[in-house]
Amino acid sequence: MLIRIGSRGSALALWQAEHVKERLEALGHAVEVRVITTTGDRILDRPLESVGGKGAFLKEIEEAMLVGEVDLAVHSLKDVPTSLPDGLALCAILERGDPRDALVSRSGTRLVELPSGARVGTASLRRQAQLRARRPDLAVVDLRGNVDTRIRRLREGRFDAILLALAGLMRLGRAAEATEALDPDLMVPAPGQGAIGLECREGDRGVSEAVISLNHEVTARAVAAERAFLARLGGGCNVPLAAYAVADGEGLRLQGLVAGLDGSRVVRGEARGSEPQSLGCGLAERLLAEGAGELIEP
């Protein structure tokens, strides 16, 4: 059986697709990668939320799976909405890379040392809100594009610093360009950040059985709690949300955050538990009781 992987054409997306291809080939499977251009790749001059949010990076690949043109999608899990199209499902979660956000600054200046008024670029509402909460004196500017594009615009002097996912830099061999890795207590990561998720057609036993050995149970449990938190708070709503879970003895420790876009109000909390779904939902309920709903309502 030939497994056809659908992938975006960015360097990072192709690295991830090729990584999965190599692992499946090592297990004896025939695999090929087919590049698919998504809405999120085509439209770069508008905020991501106006073109469908993070789901804009999945739509065309998922459509190709549903009509049988490809069999497997390889995603940065943080880009995958909690609600998938009918007929599709996550079939494996790979071991998580570094979940932290990275600051890349033009002068090698750390976050706390950036001068007042410095321009910091990021397209993530989550990063924007937490950055404004920590450093309201900075000029936070929307910045779209792949890793190469964003770093190039930084080097051209359009920004003083940018924020990126550290895992992406590491996978591209560019970790040395990070000025600072931000502690999750300082900048809570996105649900699923650093993890690679595999998506296939429901009922496709051939593909499901081929990829199941790639599933990393510890990572899968942690991101299940994070995604349960996200789902209870509205999933794809255009509000700064963050969640990060780590193994804690026999269970998990989950921290979650909801913020206003301007960073003036942040509701955050932490919880421990052994069942990912109830842990994520429970923490979300607690933050809703503490006023997070006021930040989520349109």
- Phi/psi-derived region of residue 140, left when phi > 0, alpha when psi is between -120 and 50, beta in every other case: beta
The amino acid sitting at 130 is Q
Angle at 28 between CA 22 and CA 32, to 5 degrees: 50
Strands 88-93 and 266-273: unpaired
Strands 88-93 and 101-105: unpaired
Each residue's pLDDT tens digit in the chain (298 positions)? 899 999 999 999 999 999 999 999 999 999 999 999 876 655 555 554 544 455 667 889 999 999 999 999 999 999 999 999 999 999 999 999 999 999 999 999 999 999 999 999 998 999 999 999 999 999 999 998 889 999 999 999 999 999 999 999 999 999 999 999 999 999 999 999 999 999 999 999 999 999 999 999 999 999 999 999 999 998 656 789 999 999 999 899 999 999 999 999 999 999 999 999 999 999 999 999 999 999 987 6
Take residue 38 and report the two structure tokens written for it: 């998504």
Q: Distance of alpha carbon 197 from its chain centroid, rounded? A: 10
Q: In which residue are the tokens 């404004």 written? A: 132
Instruction: Give Cβ neighbours of residue 156 (< 8 Å, ≥ 6 apart).
Output: none
Q: In which residue are the tokens 């940018």 written? A: 162
Residue 72 to residue 6: CA distance in whole angstroms = 6
- pTM value is 0.92
In the chain the domains, ranked by start, together with CATH numbers, are: 2-94+195-215 (3.40.190.10), 101-182 (3.40.190.10), 226-296 (3.30.160.40)
So what's the pLDDT on residue 51? Answer: 44
Instruction: Give Cβ neighbours of residue 275 (< 8 Å, ≥ 6 apart).
Output: none
The amino acid sitting at 97 is G
Residue 274 to residue 272: CA distance in whole angstroms = 7
**So which residues are the catalytic ones?**
79
So what's the pLDDT on residue 213? Answer: 97
Round the CA-based radius of gyration of the chain to a whole number and report it. Answer: 19
Take residue 146 and report the two structure tokens written for it: 């792949």
CB 196 within 8 A of CB 74: yes
